[in-house]
């Protein structure tokens, strides 16, 4: 199963003094966001996403898409953090710092799913979801 909701990526700060904080912030932001989806708060996950994400998909479209995915996958049983990957200069993506946070996730009806949350660093230094896909 493959779904691109928004095409973006994420990146970690190049300054060694802020690298650990950036890693923690992005990982925590991704964790909170997927937990919102796990709880069925699809509209809230859209509201918590980056403006670029919101510009690419309406709240109604997002909610409907997640309802369809939930019907196909069932309840989330286990999610294991796998990796974070820094990327930049992505074709079609705005300039910025991006990071991919990857999980191996087991759902009731889909026991082996790679779940990727894509974050972008905002102007205030926080990280927001700008993409999400399942494979």
pLDDT band at 98 (very low <50, low <70, confident <90, very high): confident
The answer to whether position 64 is within a domain reads yes
Number of structural domains the chain divides into: 1
The answer to whether position 104 is within a domain reads yes
Q: For position 42, which CATH number holds?
A: 3.10.450.100
- Distance CA(129)–CA(10), nearest Å, equals 9
Residue 86 domain boundaries: 16-134
Report which of residues 44 and 8 the model is more confident about.
Answer: 44
Please write the tens of the pLDDT for every residue from 51-64. 989 999 999 999 99
The answer to whether position 6 is within a domain reads no
Residue 60 pLDDT: 98
Indicate if the pLDDT at residue 107 is higher than 90: yes
Residue 3 pLDDT: 35
CA atoms within 13 A on the CB side of 7: 6
Mean pLDDT of the chain: 81
Those residues whose C-beta lies under 8 Å from the C-beta of residue 110, and which sit 6 or more positions away, are 1, 72, 73, 74
Please write the tens of the pLDDT for every residue from 2-14. 333 332 222 222 2
Q: Percentage of the chain surpassing pLDDT 70? A: 80
The Cα-based distances of 55 to 34, 50, 51, 67 in angstroms read 20, 9, 6, 20
- Distance CA(91)–CA(82), nearest Å, equals 25
| Whole-prediction pTM | 0.80
Residue 24 pLDDT: 60
The answer to whether position 5 is within a domain reads no
The answer to whether position 32 is within a domain reads yes
Residue 91 pLDDT: 72
CA atoms within 13 A on the CB side of 41: 11
Please state whether 93 falls in left (phi above 0), alpha (psi between -120 and 50) or beta. Answer: beta
The answer to whether position 10 is within a domain reads no
């Amino acid at each position: 199963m493959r779904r691109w909701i928004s095409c973006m990526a994420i990146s970690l700060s190049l300054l060694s003094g802020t690298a650990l904080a950036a890693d923690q912030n992005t990982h925590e932001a991704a964790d909170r966001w997927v937990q919102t989806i796990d709880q069925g708060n699809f509209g809230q996950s859209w509201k918590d996403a980056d403006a670029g994400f919101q510009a690419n998909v309406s709240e109604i479209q997002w909610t409907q898409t997640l309802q369809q995915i939930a019907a196909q996958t069932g309840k989330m049983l286990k999610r294991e953090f796998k990796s974070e990957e820094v990327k930049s200069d992505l074709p079609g993506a705005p300039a910025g710092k991006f990071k991919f946070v990857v999980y191996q996730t087991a759902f009731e009806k889909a026991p082996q799913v790679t779940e990727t949350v894509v974050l972008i660093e905002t102007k205030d230094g926080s990280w927001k979801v700008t993409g999400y896909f399942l494979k």
